[in-house]
Chain A
Amino acid sequence: MNLVRTILVTSDVPVVILLVYTAVVYKALQGALKVFSWFVFFSAAVQLISLALWCLHINNLPLVHIYVPGVFFCLALYYKTVLGNSVNGNILSYTSWLFVAFSVANTLFVQSLFIFNSYALVVEAVLLIILSLFTFLFFLNDTVRDKGMPDRNSHAWINSGIFVYHLSSLLIYYFSNVTIFGATAAIRKYPWIFHSFFSIVMYCCFLIGLWKRSKVRD
Chain B
Amino acid sequence: MEAVKSSGLIEILLPMLAIVFIVAVGVVMLYMHFQKNLFAQTLEKERLKNTHQADLLRSNMLTQEEERKRIAHDLHDELGAALSIMRMHIMMMEQNNSDVPAISSGLQNLRTLSETALSSMRGISHRLCHPSWKRLAL
Contact = CB atoms under 8 A, between A and B. Distances in A.
A187 B31 contact: no
Interface string A123-153: 0000000000000100110000100000000
Interface string A175-204: 100110011100110110010001000000
Contacts of A183: 3, 6-7, 9-10
Contacts, number: 78
B35 interface: yes
A50 interface: no
Q: Looking at chain A's contact residues, is the secondary structure mostly helix, strand, loop, or mixed? A: helix
A102 B32 CA distance: 35
The 4 A-B residue pairs with the shortest CB-CB distance in the complex, in nearest-first order? A182-B6, A183-B6, A167-B24, A168-B21
Interface of B: 2-3, 5-7, 9-11, 13-14, 16-18, 20-21, 23-25, 27-28, 31-32, 34-35, 38-39, 42
B4 to A, nearest CB: 8
12 contacts: A139-B35, A140-B34, A145-B42, A156-B31, A160-B31, A164-B25, A164-B28, A171-B13, A175-B10, A182-B5, A184-B7, A190-B14
Interface residues of A, number: 25
